[in-house]
Amino acid sequence: MNRVYLAGSGGMLGQAIYEEYREHSELRCTDIDVNDEWLEYLDFRDFEAYRQDVRSFRPDCLFHLGALTDLEYCETNPDDAYATNALSVENAVRIANELDVPVVYIGTAGIFDGGKDSYDDWDTPNPLSVYGRAKWAGEAYVEHHARRHVICRAGWMMGGGPRKDKKFVQKLMSQLHEGSRDLKVVNDRMGTPTYTRDFARNLRLVLESGWWGRYNMVCHGATSRLEVARELVKQLGMQDSVTVEPVDSAFFAGVYFAPRPESERLINRKLSLRGLDQMRPWPEALAEYLQRDYAGYVSA
């Protein structure tokens, strides 16, 4: 893949994929939020603008990366959620098919209802939220209409550091950075962390293998929000100064009101069966992330 188009690449995952590909491929990277010098503006919800920009670049592969991931925003703005997380994906598939190039789509563990302890690549989704329904609509469209595609489902994403990480690890780190030493963390939500840099490397391996299709792609080790928080504090060497207090989800119901599954744990069954699973255990990936992006960010 000498020429790669990265649409919606201004976020934490786009950063990792840009860094993975920049030395090997010619890239065009676009986003509605131009927050880096290597980005150009494009709103991929605008089909004609999206189509013209991709066609003029003539890529060997189209990565459709961007999405609205704030569940509460999606719940209260469903039209925007579906336009961004579902209809824009249809735009990408049509463009990729016209150019006869593969399309890469990023799925999510949030499409399941939490009725099972864990989910492999072939389990049937049953999303609970507007976010989950919109993402499942996008994934299903890619699977049924793209001539060549790779769908990779991520879990609890971490990566990008203080500037781009808007997820759980950054929320904890932000509290510690601001001086809080009492972290209240839910003890009734299960999942699998996914380090963006590991994800980008493994995604590249899958694409180079030529085995198209859908893959769960998460770090190894089923865990909980509470366990992730405790491991983070431990790796920072702050066990003696920081208290991690378990609470149930009802404690945050006023802020996080969108329905969420009790378990979002994914299993990389297909990656493993294909011999393509290079994802690391999540504590190992978390250690690298903290050392790489948060050195000096908090003090004991």
Distance (Å, rounded) from C-alpha 46 to C-alpha 83?
10
Section 76-84 average pLDDT = 97
Q: Helices 225-235 and 282-293 meet at what angle, rounded to 10?
A: 50
pLDDT at 253: 82
Alpha helices in the chain (DSSP H): 12-21, 47-57, 71-76, 78-82, 88-99, 130-145, 161-164, 168-177, 196-209, 225-235, 269-273, 282-293
- If you average pLDDT over every residue of the chain, what do you get? 95
Side-chain half-sphere CA neighbours of 14 within 13 A: 28
Section 95-99 average pLDDT = 98
Say if residue 1's pLDDT is above 80.
no
Q: What is the DSSP string of 191-239?
A: E-EEEHHHHHHHHHHHHHHT--EEEE---B--EEHHHHHHHHHHHTT-T
- The per-residue pLDDT for range 205-215, each reduced to its tens digit, is 999 999 999 99
Q: Are 261 and 110 in contact (CB under 8 A)?
A: yes
- Please name each of the domains of the chain with its CATH number: 3-161+193-222+263-280 (3.40.50.720)
- The per-residue pLDDT for range 36-57, each reduced to its tens digit, is 999 999 999 999 999 999 999 9
pLDDT at 300: 66
- The per-residue pLDDT for range 256-295, each reduced to its tens digit, is 899 999 999 999 999 999 999 999 999 999 999 999 999 9
pLDDT at 255: 86
Q: Would the pTM count as exceeding 0.85?
A: yes
Q: Dihedrals φ, ψ of 266, to 5°?
A: -110, 150
pLDDT at 125: 97
Band of residue 222 on the pLDDT scale cut at 50, 70, 90: confident
